[in-house]
């Protein structure tokens, strides 16, 4: 079977029972792999949504048909029900772990049950072994990876949790290949709930390619396109993602002090340009990636990865902090403890506004860089104020009586673009299946960066079609699985071609878009069963009622409801956001 | 005496011209004219990062006049006046 290793293993950590899950060619055609297949298998058999910490909640590690093949294909997706949002969730991570899993002869793992004592999984030669992890429990992510490699093989790629995941912090990340994170949605907490400390994979099995000659031509062409493209061939390499700091700030939509303003006066000091001049040691890259958007950095006393754009913002402008060293070291700490930096920063921003309004009497002050590390560490161990911070902003704000001060959608913190500055991005946040996230439909590309076309960011017209389209393409790329940054250089036709040469199966562009739509709709169906509806496709009232006062997005608010009506119509969902029977029939759901 | 228009450089452009901003003399000029003057003021060529050979804006280039994208105005013919700030960004991406 070209593209796939042909083995998905389901394992119950409680009973230690394991079986191989057969997936038909038809299902692979309809859901690809990664996110799509993960969500499909999560829903099989169509379960009543259960508590994310219930042992029966499946935690799925899934690769795609392209994993381990061409550039940027080291990625994998983690799929489960999120303890942070209660939605279906998939979280993506780079590095090499995805490729290593296939090298070990396995396309994916479905983990259920709860181990009595801490364990880790070792995947080699198509077999999954459960090993004792008592000695690993309590270690940070870096030490865990080293210890597992010492036991298995120095070449093993290890995905693991740190103390945050062990303590079930609701936004704990799964970390792999040192500092790569499946960050969003608390997949690390689900892992911790299962007493699963790590998954290690090693092996040299090759992915079979259906059309080697066509594949070779195509990848040579892809190399040239990516190299010649100014974003993938230059900007991301030299300046990383934080090049966006100055751009988004100049558009007056760089969220400052918990989204109260859109201009951060000290943005320059936390920008990609500044990082390149100061902390940057070298660029770093995932498996077979010629782009290498990662940043290996060092401060006077520490060394690590990041910050990338979202983190430079989450611990920077969002908290009124411009001390780049403090931001980088908080980032390193999150990597070591296994925490999602966006939700961590979003929650701290909420805490600071709660304090300022007098709703929470703890000593959180804007701009206080000196305590950042303590707050992050306390969160991972749920001690002191960290016990509340570990809940994420939504629960924190509700607990202190000011729910409107949490900048979240469906319980997930909104990242580094104020939706008042880009109406399409606002709709994208509101309709994201996993909550306030920018990765379902990255409308910043057309609305700010002019890619692939330039759109008026303040207009709501036509945004619904485009958001739906972007959501569908993204679902395809997340299921293939390739890195989303390739989208700056190539479109759906290229993804269809790569899929064809690797798997030997043919998808027309239209069929592939339908695959994306099917995945998006299946996720939506789960959320509806879990009780989500139109009322949850919402934004915090700040964005609907308060205008930004300064900068080039001033006097703007989000006009959500009309766009939402358009969006449901485009999607073939009814007024409450429920897919119509005819829509489901068209998608074969 | 002409007034001053501030031209700021970001991203790769800044590494190319090796300065974050220059002041350009001008009262009421088009963006295109301003860019020519900015090249002289910066003392180094950079227009090829922003424009193609036909002097059209390259895809992904962002030029803001007082925070507003010239693509939503009159493009390179957009007028710039003394006291305005013009921000130039070479194509960039991230997430
Ligand atoms: S572009 Fe960046 S995130 Fe994507 S595969 Fe390359 S290094 Fe990893």
The CATH number of residue B13's host domain is 3.10.20.30
The residues, any chain, with a CB within 8 Å of residue A580's CB and separated by 6 or more, are A572, A573, A574
Domain map (residue ranges) of chain A:
8-202, 241-404, 419-587
C-beta separation of B34 from B5 below 8 A: yes
Closest chain B residue by Cα to residue A451: B60
Domain presence at residue B94: no
Tell me how far the alpha carbon of residue A9 is from its chain's centroid.
24
Which residues in A lie closer than 8 A to residue B18 (C-beta atoms)? none
Backbone φ and ψ for A114, nearest 5 degrees, come out as -135, 130
The angle subtended at Cα A244 by Cα A270 and Cα A453, nearest 5°, is 170
Omega before residue B38 within 30° of 0, cis: no
Q: Is A240 on the interface with B (CB under 8 A)?
A: yes
Distance from CA of A449 to the nearest CA of B (A): 6
* Nearest partner of A407 among A471, A457, A353, judged by Cα: A353
Take residue B29 and report the two structure tokens written for it. Answer: 């000029």
Give, in words, the CATH class of A241-404. Answer: mainly alpha
Contact B10 A236 (CB under 8 A): no
pLDDT attached to residue A531 = 97
Give Cβ neighbours of residue A456 (< 8 Å, ≥ 6 apart).
A447, B72
Residue B95: inside a domain, yes or no? no
A436 neighbors A481 (Cβ within 8 angstroms): no
H or E segment and range at residue B88: strand B85-89
For A419-587, CATH number?
1.10.599.10
- Strand runs (DSSP E) across B12-75, as ranges? 21-25, 28-30, 62-65, 68-69
What superfamily in CATH does domain A8-202 come from? Aldehyde ferredoxin oxidoreductase, N-terminal domain (3.60.9.10)
Residue A45 preceded by cis peptide, ω within 30? yes
Domain-located, residue B93 = no
- Residue A289 Cα to ligand 1 midpoint, Å, equals 6
Quick check: is B90 in a domain?
A: no
The rounded Å distance from CA A486 to ligand 1 centre is 9
- Which atom of ligand 1 is least distant from the CA of A95? 8
First to last CA, chain A: 25
User: CB under 6 Å to ligand 1: residues?
Assistant: A 72, 94, 285-286, 289, 291-294, 483, 485
* Length of chain B (residues): 95
Measured CA to CA in angstroms, residue A61 lies from A9, A37, A79, A132, A437 at distances of 10, 10, 7, 20, 20
CB pairs under 8 A between A and B: 96
Contact between A105 and A204 (Cβ < 8 Å): no
CA pair distance A452, A150, nearest whole angstrom:
46
Q: pLDDT 10s per residue in chain A (589 long)?
A: 899 999 999 999 999 999 999 999 999 999 999 999 999 999 987 778 999 999 999 999 999 999 999 999 999 999 999 999 999 999 999 999 999 999 999 999 999 999 999 999 999 999 999 999 999 999 999 999 999 999 999 999 999 999 999 999 999 999 999 999 999 999 999 999 999 999 999 999 999 999 999 999 999 999 999 999 999 999 999 999 999 999 999 999 999 999 999 999 999 999 999 999 999 999 999 999 999 999 999 999 999 999 999 999 999 999 999 999 999 999 999 999 999 999 999 999 999 999 999 999 999 999 999 999 999 999 999 999 999 999 999 999 999 999 999 999 999 999 999 999 999 999 999 999 999 999 999 999 999 999 999 999 999 999 999 999 999 999 999 999 999 999 999 999 999 999 999 999 999 999 999 999 999 999 999 999 999 999 999 999 999 999 999 999 999 999 999 999 999 999 999 999 999 999 999 999 9
Q: A322, A447, A347, A365: which is closest to A405 by C-alpha?
A: A347
CA distances from A518 to A186, A263, A476, A567 (A): 25, 39, 10, 16
Domain count, chain B: 1
For residue A290, which atom of ligand 1 is closest to its CA? 6
A391 touches B at CB < 8 Å = no
Please tell me the predicted confidence (pLDDT) of residue B1: 55
pLDDT of residue A253: 98
Q: Residue B75: what pLDDT?
A: 97
Q: What is the domain range of residue B59?
A: 4-85
Contacts of residue B94 in chain A, CB cutoff 8 Å? 236, 240-244, 272, 293, 308-309
Interface list for A 402-421 with B (CB within 8 A): none
Contacts of residue B13 in chain A, CB cutoff 8 Å? none
Nearest by CB to residue A238, choosing from B12, B66, B71, is: B12
Of B15, B20, B93, the CB nearest to A488: B93
Determine phi and psi for A65, rounding to 5 degrees: -60, -25
Q: Could you give the CA distance from residue A543 to residue A536 in angstroms, rounded to a whole number?
A: 15
B75 inside domain: yes
In a 3-state reduction of DSSP, which class is residue A119?
Answer: strand
Spatial distance between the Cα atoms of A189 and A191, rounded to a whole number of angstroms: 5
How far does A531 lie from chain B, in Å, by closest CA?
30
CATH topology of A8-202 equal to that of A241-404? no
CA atoms within 13 A on the CB side of A307: 35
Query: How far is it, in rounded angstroms, from Cα A254 to Cα A1?
Result: 47
Q: Do B91 and A230 touch (CB under 8 A)?
A: yes
Q: Within a 10 A sphere around the Cβ of B56, how many other Cβ atoms?
A: 12
CA distance B46 to chain A (A): 14
Which residue has tokens 């381990």? A68
The A280-284 sheet, strands edge to edge: A280-284, A294-298, A303-305
Contact A450 B67 (CB under 8 A): no
Q: How much distance in Å is there from the Cα of A565 to the middle of ligand 1?
A: 35
- Give A176 Cα–ligand 1 centroid separation in angstroms: 14
Phi-psi map region of A515: left, alpha, beta (phi>0 left; psi -120 to 50 alpha): alpha
User: For A450, which of B10, B62, B95 is closest by C-beta distance?
Assistant: B62
Name the one residue in this structure whose structure tokens are 């939700």: A343
Angle at A405 between CA A545 and CA A164, to 5 degrees: 145
Best mutation site among A289, A306, A309, A442 for ligand 1, i.e. most ligand atoms within 8 A of its Cβ?
A289
Q: With beta carbons less than 8 A apart as the criterion, state whether B21 and B4 touch.
A: no
CB-CB neighbors (< 8 A) of A456 in chain B: 72
Strands A408-409 and A412-413: antiparallel
Q: Is A19 exposed, middle or buried (0-12, 13-18, 19+ CB in 10 A)?
A: exposed
According to DSSP, the β-strands at A8-12 and A108-112 are parallel
Cα of A103 to nearest chain B Cα, Å:
29
Residues of B in contact with A243 (CB under 8 A): 10-11, 92-94
Q: Give burial (CB, 10 Å; 0-12/13-18/19+) of A588.
A: exposed
Inform me whether the C-beta atom of residue A552 falls under 8 Å from chain B C-beta atoms.
yes
Pairing of strands A59-62, A76-81: antiparallel
Torsion sign, CA atoms A506, A508, A512, A515:
negative
């Amino acid at each position: 079977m070209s593209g796939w290793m042909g083995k998905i293993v389901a394992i119950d950590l409680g009973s230690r029972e394991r079986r191989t899950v057969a997936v038909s060619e038809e299902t692979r055609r309809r859901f690809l792999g990664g996110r799509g297949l993960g969500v499909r298998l999560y829903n099989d058999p169509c379960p009543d949504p259960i508590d994310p910490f219930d042992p029966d909640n499946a935690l799925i590690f899934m690769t795609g048909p392209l994993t381990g093949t061409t550039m940027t294909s080291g990625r994998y997706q983690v799929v489960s029900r999120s303890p942070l949002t209660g939605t279906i969730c998939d979280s993506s991570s780079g590095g090499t772990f995805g490729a290593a899993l296939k090298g070990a002869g396995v396309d994916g793992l479905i983990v259920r049950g709860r181990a009595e004592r801490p364990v880790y999984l070792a995947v080699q030669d198509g077999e999954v072994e459960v090993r004792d992890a008592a000695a690993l429990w309590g270690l940070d992510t870096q030490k865990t990876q080293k210890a597992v490699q010492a036991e298995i093989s120095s070449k093993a790629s290890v995905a693991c949790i740190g103390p945050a995941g062990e303590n079930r912090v609701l936004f704990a990340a799964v970390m792999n290949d040192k500092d790569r994170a499946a960050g969003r949605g608390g997949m690390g907490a689900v892992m911790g709930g299962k007493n699963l400390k790590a998954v290690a994979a090693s092996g040299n099995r090759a992915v079979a390619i259906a059309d080697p000659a066509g594949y070779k031509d195509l990848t040579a062409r892809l190399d040239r396109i990516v190299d010649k493209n100014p974003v993938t061939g230059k900007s991301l390499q030299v300046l990383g993602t934080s090049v966006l700091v100055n751009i988004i700030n100049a558009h007056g939509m760089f969220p400052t002090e918990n989204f109260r303003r859109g201009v951060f006066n000290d943005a320059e000091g936390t920008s990609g340009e500044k990082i390149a001049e100061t902390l940057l040691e070298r660029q770093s890259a995932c498996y077979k990636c010629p782009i290498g958007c990662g940043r290996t950095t060092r401060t006077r006393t520490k060394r690590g990865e990041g910050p990338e754009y979202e983190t430079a913002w989450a611990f920077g402008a969002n908290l009124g902090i411009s001390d780049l060293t403090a931001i980088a070291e908080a980032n390193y700490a999150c990597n070591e403890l296994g925490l999602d930096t966006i939700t961590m920063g979003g929650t701290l921003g909420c805490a600071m506004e709660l304090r300022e309004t007098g709703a929470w009497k703890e000593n959180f002050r804007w701009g206080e860089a000196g305590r950042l590390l303590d707050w992050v560490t306390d969160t991972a161990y749920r001690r002191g104020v960290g016990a509340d911070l570990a809940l994420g902003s939504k629960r924190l704000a509700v607990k202190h009586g000011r729910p409107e001060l949490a900048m979240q959608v469906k319980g997930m913190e909104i990242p580094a673009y104020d939706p008042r500055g880009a109406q399409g991005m606002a709709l994208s946040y509101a309709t994201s299946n996993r909550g306030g996230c920018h990765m379902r439909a990255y409308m910043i590309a057309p609305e700010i960066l002019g890619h692939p076309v330039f759109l008026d960011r303040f207009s709501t017209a036509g945004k619904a079609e485009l958001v739906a389209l972007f959501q569908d393409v993204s679902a395809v790329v997340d299921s293939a699985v390739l890195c989303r940054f390739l989208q700056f250089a190539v479109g759906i036709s290229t993804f269809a071609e790569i899929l064809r040469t690797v798997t030997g199966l043919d998808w027309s562009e239209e069929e592939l878009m339908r695959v994306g739509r099917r995945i998006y709709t299946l996720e939506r169906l789960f959320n509806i069963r879990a009780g989500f509806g139109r009322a949850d496709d919402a934004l915090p009232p700040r964005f609907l009622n308060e205008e930004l006062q300064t900068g080039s997005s001033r006097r703007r608010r989000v006009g959500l409801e009309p766009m939402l009506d358009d969006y449901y119509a485009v999607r073939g969902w009814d007024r409450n956001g429920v897919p119509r029977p005819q829509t489901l029939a068209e998608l074969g759901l | 005496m002409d007034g001053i228009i501030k031209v700021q450089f970001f991203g790769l452009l800044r590494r190319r011209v090796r300065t974050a901003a220059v002041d350009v003399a001008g009262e009421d000029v088009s963006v295109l004219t301003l860019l020519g003057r900015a090249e002289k003021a910066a003392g180094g060529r950079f227009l090829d990062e922003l424009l193609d050979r036909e002097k059209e804006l390259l895809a992904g280039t962002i030029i803001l006049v007082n925070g507003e994208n010239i693509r939503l105005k009159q493009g390179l013919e957009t007028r710039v006046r003394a006291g305005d700030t013009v921000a130039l960004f070479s194509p960039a991406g991230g997430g």
